[in-house]
Amino acid sequence: MTTPVHGPVPTAARPVRSRRALVAGSVGNFIEWYEFGVYGYFATVIAAHFFTPAGGSGAEALVKTYASFALAFFFRPVGAALFGRLGDRIGRRPTLILVICLMTGATALIGVLPTYASIGAAAPWLLTLLRILQGLSAGGEFGGAVSVMTEFAPPHRRGGYGAWQSFTVALGLLAGAGAAALLATVLTVSQLNGWGWRVPFLLTLPLGLVALWLRLRLDETPAFASDVVAKSEPARPPARQTLRAIALGAGRVMGWSAAGYTFLVVLPSYLQNTLNATFQQALVATVLANLGFAASILPAGTASDRFGRRTVMLTGALLVAVLALPLLNLVQDPDASTYAKGAALFCAGAAVGLMAGPGPAMLAEMFPTTVRYTGLGLAYSLSNAVFSGCAGLIITEAVERTGDADIPAYYAAATCLVSVLALLTLRGDDHRRALR
């Protein structure tokens, strides 16, 4: 099944192609999450520039900013269906090239977008339009990149290869936090709020050109070449079977989506608005959570190749469900030491990483080659649309209405409990089976 139509790949060339696929597949994900992280970190600044007409409150503007954030996520499934269909028909490589061009262009344009003070009500609409384009491209990115990584990976290392897709989430978020922290350090508050916030968005242009160059050098995956290109009418599973797998896959990654965004992206604005933390303090807290996330992803992916996806992902989901509230209460405690709070945030991120590491390979193994790009992309993007994209909106609005500062912990724990139920349906030996 994995022999290309043009003949077998020389043994010496296989590791080179696999490594190239790993880099080319993960670089787009890095850019995507770098931008989403930057948007989350600068949410309060963006709210002031685009969603605060005269007389509007800061809380109201922040809710509108997160509504725009959520809207982009709801276009992810559309992008997953659109680009997934292309990727399953014409190939992973050309589709991923198109996706990176769209993603880079939309993100860079945010960096030059006029504000509400310049063009009035058109500003938030233009920002939302660009967020929609980002959502479409992000929806097409995950399915294609994971398909490339896992289809090129050695059979016994799919978990480790797929984990790089999640690892670049952490790298992207950390890069976004680093850029925001650097700007907050070297610029005055007025400079940061005036023009400094634009710089991280503009940096995606050179990053996108590098990603484009890498993807132009990428080969088509052997699995697609043999199973799709070589057949005039490739066999596809029944639509009902695919839809069922998509729904189940979304449930399995629900906790990863919700808890990840709660602790890794929404946290800065939550700390500033609920606990009165400074911008710099909120960024430090987010960096610690992301470091914990990054530290556990690759070991978790590798461990899942040995012990199974179910074992590792269940461990992460149960840890978040049990520890989310105690860890958040520790962060909220004014008498707790800085080191204790830092350790709590690190542990929260690490628990999410246990789900994120094996997650991509787990999703790839749920679908055959002919619908893999579409199926795993839709499962992931649907879960992200509902439980990640709405995380900031739900948490900000719920805290505002109830005054309960523990809302983020309840949200993360509840979604992880649902994922536990879905993960229990996963076979313990799925990681040992060949890709269909």
| Assigned domain for 104 exists | yes
Task: Specify burial of residue 87 (Cβ count, 10 A radius: 0-12, 13-18, 19+).
Answer: buried
Answer with the residue of higher pLDDT: 227 or 21. Answer: 21
User: 411 vs 254, 283, 325, CA distance in Å?
Assistant: 11, 21, 10
Helix H or strand E encompassing 36: helix 13-41
User: What does the pLDDT read at residue 21?
Assistant: 82
Inside any domain, residue 1: no
Strands (E), 246-319: none
pTM score of the predicted model: 0.82
* Contact partners, residue 82, CB within 8 Å, separation at least 6: 136, 139, 140
266, 394 contact by CB (below 8 A): no
Domain of 134 in residue numbering reads as 16-432
pLDDT of residue 268: 66
- pLDDT tens, 394-404? 887 888 888 88
Residue 10 lies in a domain: no
The number of distinct structural domains making up the chain is 1
What pLDDT, on the 0 to 100 scale, is given for residue 179?
86
CA dihedral 343, 422, 414, 299 (to 10 degrees): 10
Give yes or no for a contact between 28 and 100, defined as CB atoms under 8 angstroms apart: yes
CA of residue 340 relative to chain centroid, distance: 28
**What average pLDDT is seen over the chain?**
84
Half-sphere exposure of 326 toward its Cβ, with a 13 Å CA cutoff?
8
Q: In this predicted model, what pLDDT tens digit does every residue of 132-185 receive, in sequence order? A: 898 899 889 999 999 999 888 887 889 999 999 989 878 887 888 788 888 888
Is residue 191 a part of any domain in this protein? yes
For residue 89, the number of C-alpha atoms closer than 13 Å in the C-beta half-sphere is: 6
Instruction: Tell whether 7 is covered by a domain.
Output: no
Express as a percent the part of the chain with pLDDT over 90: 35
CB count in 10 Å sphere of residue 408: 27
Give the whole-angstrom CA distance, residue 195 versus residue 190: 8
The verdict on residue 84 lying in a domain is yes
The CATH number for 33's domain is 1.20.1250.20
Does residue 38 lie within any of the structural domains?
yes
Check the CA dihedral 385-388-393-394 and report its sign.
Answer: positive
Structure tokens at 270: 């939550």
